[in-house]
Amino acid sequence: MKEAFTFHDVLLVPKRSSVRSRKDVDTSGRFSKNITLKCPVVSANMDTVTEARMAIAMARCGGLGIIHRFLTIEEEVAEVVKVKRAESVVIENPYTVGPEDSLEYARSLIERHEVGGLIVVDRERRVVGILSNRDMQFQTDGAVQIKRVMTKNPITAKVGTTPDEAEEILREKKIEKLPLVDGKGVLQGLITAKDIKAKRHRPEASKDKKGRLLGGAAVGGVGDFMERAAALLEGGADCLVVDVAHGHADHVIDAVKKLKKKFGSAELVAGNVATYEGARDLAAAGADGIKVGVGPGSICSTRIVSGSGVPQLSAVIECAKITKERGIPVIADGGIRDSGDITKALAAGASSVMLGSLLAGADESPGWTVVRGGTRYKVYRGMASLTATLSRKKKESTENLDPIEVAEVVPEGVESMAPYKGPVAEVVYQLQGGLRSGMSYSGARSLPEFWTKAEFVRISAAAWAESKPHALDK
Ligand code: XMP
């Protein structure tokens, strides 16, 4: 019988280092063959962790968010679209209204798409005005036509205007939105001051070639997964994650093959597995990234219920052989409790990590905030927990749940609470700071260097107790 270990069984041995400042450490790591993140941290595809708000915030920090799949196809696509439209150098299809539409309609569009204003176009899509919050703020009559309140004949620029030229115009004219038009005045795009500022202030953000934030989305391995995948890619998803608890299964391998065949150019991450054989088979099926972790998660009960799993550090070490062999990155998913565990997961060969509980308490996670004993928490639950399974069943049917159906559920996850943590950017900043520090203790300036230099030492329970702050222990 082999022995296997997890994060708290080991520490990294400090090495001679030439790194003077932690800022000199490049933490970049890959999520998939062609997606590199400056901060190799990904928010989990769970319904209490990642929808558009979290994915947007994660991409702004240099990480990535994967929208969960426990939504209708339309709902999941809508979350992806929000991420892809949150920022871009040129918004190619800005939301528009007609001059005769009502203010009420414009307000509903603004709310639904979470945008700051709309471009007003005539029937030929020629720009005739802009409707911003400033135009609407004291208007109480929802029936009023937009042409009565909009800013008429706004300043426009020719399609092809560069971001630098646009910035000059925005500054000089003291405006916030610059519609781009062709020779006939027909709307072709939009550049906003907000996006230009974001670009300058956040050079580390994860972006695509068009300057839009990166966002991924999950699909299953059975049922509507092909249709869902097509819709998500059409909506702009930068990668698909085939999310199945036991990814080393024939039907998952077949699903990966089918997806790769149909959507060859799309980045495809698949999981979860916990063995080299699992990683190898998914890679052979066409996966561009392998998600590793069977049962290590903070809300998982898979190992208790089923008796199956591999301690996460050993699982990552095993699976990461595929990175050496085929250049396919491994994502360590689950069981990460501190920044030190991120460092250890990467030292073990992972190229990025996926987090649930560490991010679930952030402002941007979906779901309820609860107060217990005067402390704020956010609800965090396993996707195979009883309540998550029942919510899913309820969504799929209009009828009340049959008690027999409820009794038949065998949960492999639990409902829990994550302490409230404020903005996720602050959480990620601390985690990335810890990672930089950890890499510098090993004398590494980059992930590939870290892989060659990192050395683990096994520790006892007493050594782990010594490792934690213990000044107040008596
Ligand atoms: P952490 O430890 O970051 O783990 O909270 C998040 C990861 O846990 C997995 N996950 C589950 N595993 N039962 C499980 O056995 C579940 O109900 C469940 N829900 C999520 C998933 O891989 C996630 O990223």
455 token code pair = 């050395």
Ligand 1, residues 269, 383, 392, 421: which to mutate, most atoms within 8 A of Cβ?
Answer: 383
- Asked if 196 contacts 23 with a C-beta cutoff of 8 angstroms, the reply is no
Tell me, in angstroms, the distance from the centre of ligand 1 to residue 103's CA: 44
Nearest CA to ligand 1 atom 12: 300
- For residue 306, give the H/E element and its range: helix 302-306
Distances (CA, A) of 353 to 258, 294, 372, 436, 442: 26, 14, 30, 14, 19
Q: What is the pLDDT of residue 400?
A: 76
Q: Which residues of 146-156 are buried (b: 16+ CB within 10 A; e: fewer)?
A: bbebbbeebeb
- CA 43/CA 218 separation, integer angstroms: 12
Tell me, in angstroms, the distance from the centre of ligand 1 to residue 386's CA: 14
408 token code pair = 């038949």
Tell me, in angstroms, the distance from the centre of ligand 1 to residue 462's CA: 28
- For residue 431, give the H/E element and its range: helix 424-441
DSSP assignment, residue 14?
A: P
- CA 154/CA 247 separation, integer angstroms: 54
| Residue 295 alpha carbon, nearest atom of ligand 1 | 15
Ligand 1, residues 48, 54, 294, 300: which to mutate, most atoms within 8 A of Cβ?
Answer: 300
Q: What is the pLDDT of residue 116?
A: 84
Q: Which residues of 198-218 are buried (b: 16+ CB within 10 A; e: fewer)?
A: bbeebebbbbeeebbbbbbbb
Least Cα distance to 231 among 252, 217, 242 occurs for 217
pLDDT 10s digits, 98-147:
999 999 999 999 988 888 899 999 999 999 999 988 888 888 898 999 99
Kindly give the parts of the chain with pLDDT less than 50.
Answer: none
- Asked if 298 contacts 7 with a C-beta cutoff of 8 angstroms, the reply is no
Distances (CA, A) of 154 to 102, 132, 226: 20, 12, 44
Pocket of ligand 1 (CB under 6 A): 44, 46, 272, 293, 295, 297-300, 302, 333-336, 354-357, 382-385, 412-413
Q: How far apart are the first and last CA of the chain?
A: 39
| Residue 413 alpha carbon, nearest atom of ligand 1 | 17
Q: What is the pLDDT of residue 239?
A: 98
Tell me, in angstroms, the distance from the centre of ligand 1 to residue 414's CA: 10
- CA 236/CA 348 separation, integer angstroms: 33
Least Cα distance to 293 among 49, 58, 460, 44 occurs for 44
- CA 114/CA 26 separation, integer angstroms: 34
Tally of CB atoms within 10 A around 221: 21
- The 3-state DSSP class for residue 84 equals helix
Nearest CA to ligand 1 atom 18: 382
Q: What is the pLDDT of residue 402?
A: 80
Tell me, in angstroms, the distance from the centre of ligand 1 to residue 74's CA: 25
| Residue 272 alpha carbon, nearest atom of ligand 1 | 22
Total residues belonging to the chain: 474
- Active-site residue, 300 included: yes
Q: Which of 39, 61, 239, 300 is catalytic?
A: 300
